[in-house]
Amino acid sequence: SQQGEEDPQALSIQEGENATMNCSYKTSINNLQWYRQNSGRGLVHLILIRSNEREKHSGRLRVTLDTSKKSSSLLITASRAADTASYFCASMNTGFQKLVFGTGTRLLVSP
Amino acid sequence: NAGVTQTPKFRVLKTGQSMTLLCAQDMNHEYMYWYRQDPGMGLRLIHYSVGEGTTAKGEVPDGYNVSRLKKQNFLLGLESAAPSQTSVYFCASTHGARAGGAETQYFGPGTRLLVL
């Protein structure tokens, strides 16, 4: 399987805490993207980091990329109950045609 | 601007029946994709298209066919449904490599398919 892997599979935290999820991928990439999926809904794009970048910020999101280890991490700071969702990483291959998704992390943020 | 829409939202089929899932986008995107999502498996690519009239196989194409006769539509067909095809199907689209290569995908709301 080409699928990447994410850990943890599930994460439960309290509001105000930070949430960190990790992603590993298998092939050379052009960029890596993170998506969010609320229960029963389609995926929504959160942030993209290119292969020549090491860190990127967007609001309460911080993404890092280590191409030597083929891994990425997503940090959500000061989590809110509304952040409860599944989060997926997706690596874009160097041909720009396909995304390969990870298996996802289910985040539960309790009030 | 509706984005990406999928029809139907939910369907129950008997083994051996056929059906077509329709994906439509109004963003003039070149690339379109069909994924299936199963518990604990993330999204897996079934087929994709990089332009009108073109299609290509993804990771799990067996048992499915696709057509892209119009740029805005991407159809996914199941000729003889099997219980293993019970899943949630998502369509997505993107501008494609001409937009600079840093592509994000826009997803439809999904179609839940149950094959008995």
Q: For residue B27, count other CB atoms closer than 10 A to its CB.
A: 13
Q: Which residue of A33, A45, A98 is in closest CB contact with B48?
A: A98
Residues of B in contact with A44 (CB under 8 A): 107
Q: Provide the shortest C-alpha distance from residue B95 to chain A (in Å).
A: 10
Q: Do A50 and B40 touch (CB under 8 A)?
A: no
A23 touches chain B (CB under 8 A): no
Count how many domains chain A has: 1
Q: Give the pLDDT confidence score for residue B41 in this predicted structure.
A: 75
Give the helix, strand, coil percentages of chain B, each rounded to 5: 5, 50, 45
Note down pLDDT in tens along chain A; length 111 residues.
566 788 899 999 999 999 999 999 988 888 999 999 998 889 999 999 999 999 999 999 999 999 999 999 999 999 999 999 999 999 988 776 788 899 999 999 999
Contact B103 A92 (CB under 8 A): yes
Whether the Cβ atoms of residue B67 and residue B75 lie closer than 8 Å to each other: yes
Condensed to tens digits (0 to 9), the pLDDT of residues A49-81 reads: 999 999 999 999 999 999 999 999 999 999 999
What are the two backbone dihedrals, phi and then psi, of residue A63, each rounded to the nearest 5 degrees? -120, 140
Residue A77, domain extent: 5-110
Domain of A41, CATH number, reads: 2.60.40.10
CA distance B17 to chain A (A): 25
Number of A to B CB contacts under 8 A, please give it: 68
Let me know how long chain A is. Answer: 111
DSSP output for A38-64? -TTS-EEEEEEEETT-SEEEETTEEEE
For B9-60, how does the pLDDT look when each residue is reduced to its tens digit (9 = 90+)?
999 999 999 999 999 999 999 999 999 999 877 899 999 998 999 999 999 9
Q: How many CA atoms lie within 13 A of A110 on its CB side?
A: 4
